[in-house]
Chain A
Amino acid sequence: MLEPITPVHFLLLSAALLLVGTIGVLTRRNIVVILMSIELILNAVNLNLVAFSRYFGEPSGQVFAIFVITMAAAETAVALGILIALFRNRQTVFADEIDLLKW
């Protein structure tokens, strides 16, 4: 017999996503990949929110998830804009080559 899926399962999955995202942010060189890792973290958040919202039968968690998705889109837009400006001046997307300021 299969066990029913409980909030704990979702919590574990989202914790795993958070971990993968955090490791990605800390170890990757390519800024685009770092941005993708940040998206992973935000998706871990969304998973949590929606799972809890279903568990409580209360809608505000889903509303929150929609706001998180919106903010993630806005943040990515600004990030790519800055990255393009940076690439025009430096011809690189690698975080460790951006070293004009002491990191």
Chain B
Amino acid sequence: MSQFYTSTDHFVLVPAIMLALFGCAILLFDFFLFPEPRQRKWLLAFLVLGLVFTGVGLWRQHRFLAESGLPQITAFQGTLTVDGFALFFNWVFLAVSLVIGLMSYRYLEIEGEHHGEYYGLILLAQCGMYFLATGTDLITLFIGLELMALCFYIMVGFLRTQKRSNEAAMKYLLLGAFSSGLLVYGFSILYGISGSTKLSEISLAVANRDTWDPLVVLALITTSVGLLFKVSAAPFHMWAPDAYEGAPTTVTAFLASGSKAASFAFLVRMFAGPFESTRAVWEPLLIAVAILTLTIGNLAAITQENVKRLLAYSSISHAGYILLGLIAGNETGLKGVAVYILVYVFMTMGAFVVVTALRRAHLIGENIDDLAGLIHRSPGYAIVMLVCLLSLAGIPPTAGFLGKYYIFLSLVQTGHYLLAVIAVLYVAVAVYYYFRIVRAMFVAEAGPSVALASSFGVRVAAALTATLTLGIGIYPEPFLQLAQLPVMR
């Protein structure tokens, strides 16, 4: 008879407990302790404190795995598994939440919707992400996904007096709920195949069946449609540009980095786990999806005038590159996925930090024209934007090059030459639309100068993301070791 709540269970659950505890504490403190608007900085402090405690829990797990040499810690009878994969993604989520928290404070004040709930929602969303990366059971994964998604629906609609934000939230919610429904339908079929909700047992049951078994194919198709919706891969990307444009810019950054990374953790867990034995079925499907995603993301980005919308299409195209790593599927490919996600979250957040700083009272500051002459007005932010854009385009010595290098290498190693050629061609297209922004910043005539909405938090966030984007590219060794974690099984 197994114990109900062992010390191992607790050890695995500590980071999630901290996130949920501090998330709920912020909701309460906002109401009872700090009702005054100028006291909100304490809520931000609590967010950082919660992240510190979470980090301590993660660090202890990390040390334990490194010192014991065990491949994984399982808890709750195999419901949660802390392995290198989970640890890697949880470190990424931690960094993302920290940067998002820092950049949000000033922006929300300017938007006039500065409520304490926002910081609670960040932590609760990260709690959902924790279960997405750590869960190895269908129920846990589903709850984690929905916890994250519900927090995001609310945050996208956070500017409730603005029509654009309402619309974005409504569209995101309808398509998100629909895709969750399809996903969980796939889960119910998987349960029917195996009689268990544990991924390990489902893997065995699926491997024992015929590859083209109709039930397996049905489960695979519904599950992957749901997952591809979440990572905004074409043809299921329609929600992304609208949600990204209408959402508060800080939430857009969170959506593009945290939500996407967590969804990819989920996707890789499913495809490298239960569906690994049906690779013959999903590989051609994913290849088609990846090519379509690269095409739509890159070509649609060319004509965009709104920077947030442009970055939305760019984030769609990056999802295509990450899928390519999964298609290659060898060790380099999976490491490439990890490196790419690590690099991607920082460069995307960096670009959004600058867009956030452009939002001032009476000035929306989202169009490419609003960036005109930024180098003269605010050289620091212009440099940050330049570094992030170079990295997004994949130009050395920035970190973006490193991510693309591993993906292309894995494609060549596994003999997907045509895919590699197509992927490289789209880099050239990407350089064009990223350089439209660079040209606006450096060449275009500066408009009437209005000071940027800078603050200590925004500056720290900008410095952190730009340093990491450049740092990972110049001195990649420690980060490559971190990205080695998910590959070690």
| Residue picked from B143, B154, B170, most chain A C-beta under 10 Å | B170
> CA of A40 to CA of B338 in the docked complex: distance in angstroms?
37
A96 vs B168: C-alpha distance when bound (angstroms): 13
Contacting B at CB under 8 A, from A21-77, are 21-22, 25, 31, 34-35, 38, 41-42, 44-45, 48-49, 52-53, 55-56, 58, 60-61, 63-64, 67-68, 71, 74-75
Of all chain A residues, which has the CB nearest B137? Answer: A60
The chain B residue sitting closest to A38, CB to CB, is B177
Query: A14 contacts which chain B residues (CB < 8 A)?
Result: 185, 188
B462, CB-defined interface residue at 8 Å: no
| Residue A1 interfacial (CB < 8 Å) | no
Q: Distance in Å from the Cβ of A23 to the closest Cβ of chain B?
A: 12
| B197 with A45: CB separation less than 8 A | no
Interface of A is mostly: helix
Cβ of B192 within 8 Å of any chain A Cβ, yes or no, is: yes
Cβ contact within 8 Å between B189 and A75: no
Q: Which of B142, B163, B168, B241 contacts A71 (CB 8 A)?
A: B142
Chain B residues near A53: list those with CB within 8 A: 191
Verify if B463 is at the interface (C-beta below 8 Å from A). Answer: no
Q: Given A38-B178, A78-B173: A67 and B197 within 8 A (CB)?
A: no
Q: Is the CB of A78 within 8 A of B143?
A: no
Residues B198-247 near A (CB distance < 8 A):
238, 241-242, 245-246
Q: With A11-B192, A78-B153 in contact, is A41–B146 under 8 Å at CB?
A: no
Contact of B169 among A58, A75, A82 (CB under 8 A): A82
Among residues 145 to 182 in chain B, which have CB atoms less than 8 Å away from a CB atom of chain A?
146, 150, 153-154, 157, 160-164, 166-171, 173-174, 177-178, 180-182
Asked whether B181 lies within 8 Å of A95 as measured between CB atoms, the reply is: no
Cα distance A75–B184 in the bound complex, in angstroms: 14
Whether B163 and A67, one on each chain, are in contact in the complex, defined by CB atoms closer than 8 angstroms, is no
Chain B nearest CB: distance from A39 CB in Å? 9
Known contacts: A41-B181, A75-B150, A100-B164. The answer to whether A95 contacts B192 by CB under 8 A is no
Q: Which residues of A contact B139 (CB under 8 A)?
A: 60, 63-64, 67
Q: Is B196 in contact with chain A by the CB < 8 A criterion?
A: yes
Instruction: Return chain B residues, CB-CB under 8 Å to A31.
Output: 170, 174
Interface size on A, residues (CB 8 A): 46
CA distance A28 to B283 in the complex (A): 34
Contact B170 A86 (CB under 8 A): yes
- Docked pose: A60 CA to B136 CA in angstroms: 14
Contacts of A102 in B (CB 8 A): 241-242
Min CB distance, A44 to chain B, in Å? 6
Given contacts A7-B192, A52-B192, A103-B238, contact A82 B170 (CB under 8 A): yes
Chain A residues whose CB sits within 8 angstroms of the CB of B379 once the complex forms: none
* Interface status of A5 (Cβ within 8 A of chain B): no
**Do A101 and B191 contact each other (CB < 8 Å), given the known contacts A48-B185, A64-B197?**
no
Residue numbers of B with Cβ under 8 A of A are 138-139, 142-143, 146, 150, 153-154, 157, 160-164, 166-171, 173-174, 177-178, 180-182, 184-185, 187-189, 191-192, 195-197, 238, 241-242, 245-246
Pick 29 A–B contacts, CB within 8 A, sort by A: A25-B178, A38-B177, A38-B178, A45-B187, A45-B188, A48-B185, A58-B196, A64-B187, A64-B197, A67-B139, A68-B184, A75-B150, A75-B180, A78-B154, A78-B173, A82-B153, A82-B170, A89-B162, A89-B163, A95-B174, A98-B171, A101-B164, A101-B168, A101-B171, A101-B241, A101-B242, A101-B245, A103-B171, A103-B238
Chain A residues proximal to chain B, CB less than 8 Å: 7, 11, 14, 18, 21-22, 25, 31, 34-35, 38, 41-42, 44-45, 48-49, 52-53, 55-56, 58, 60-61, 63-64, 67-68, 71, 74-75, 78-79, 81-83, 85-86, 89-90, 95, 98, 100-103
